[in-house]
Amino acid sequence: MAALNPNWKRSTRAIVASIGMLFLLLTIVSGSTPPPGKTAPAPKPRAEKPKPLPKPAPKPREPQPEPAPLIDYKVVKQVTDEIVLIAVDPVNRNENDMKTLGSQLHDNYASGDFARVSVYDDEKAAELWDKIVDDTATPEEENFYDQHYIAQYNKNKNTGLDQFFYFLQGPNGPTVTINY
């Protein structure tokens, strides 16, 4: 037979491949349909996806206290990058406003390493700073300066100092210190 057909190897391979494909198809088909005369079993019911639980109703928001109003101030003099002299309105010379101003300055200088902010309730007192530091102020100017110098904010990131103190009766009166 090999002598009659010189391509018998190729023909044999094609026949074997065809038989393999037929076997594969029959296996696939026989798994999906029942043999003749038999009925297919009823499909199993699929488990239903669990329904998500209803979300609880959002809780009513607690009324939030109104944020403290910011204290307006004017930069009277920027002595250096770290030393600033500011003036507030004299009506802010009270405990609540000083606490608010302290928090405000703390927030304003949060990213800096150093700060020294002197607070006055009169711009003219802040303008006397150079004379006070140079010790060239007259006694009257010193007295005026002391009457209107009401608070100080200091920050030194290296030492951990971060505080605001105020003295509503002047620097020689009682002092309240707030550490942040």
* Residue 26 confidence (pLDDT) above 60: no
37: alpha, beta or left? (left if phi > 0; alpha if psi -120 to 50): left
The per-residue pLDDT for range 51-89, each reduced to its tens digit, is 777 777 777 777 777 776 899 999 999 999 999 999 999
Tokens describing residue 127: 């303008």
Among 180, 153, 156, smallest CA distance to 165 is for 153
Provide CB contacts within 8 A for 68, sequence distance 6+: 100, 103
* Residue 147 confidence (pLDDT) above 70: yes
User: If residue 147 lies in a helix (H) or strand (E), which one and from where to where?
Assistant: helix 139-148
Reported pTM: 0.63
Do 131 and 146 meet the contact criterion of CB atoms below 8 Å apart? Answer: no
* Residue 20 confidence (pLDDT) above 70: no
Share above pLDDT 70 across residues of the chain, in percent, rounded to a whole number: 72
Burial of 99 (0-12, 13-18, 19+ CB in 10 A): middle
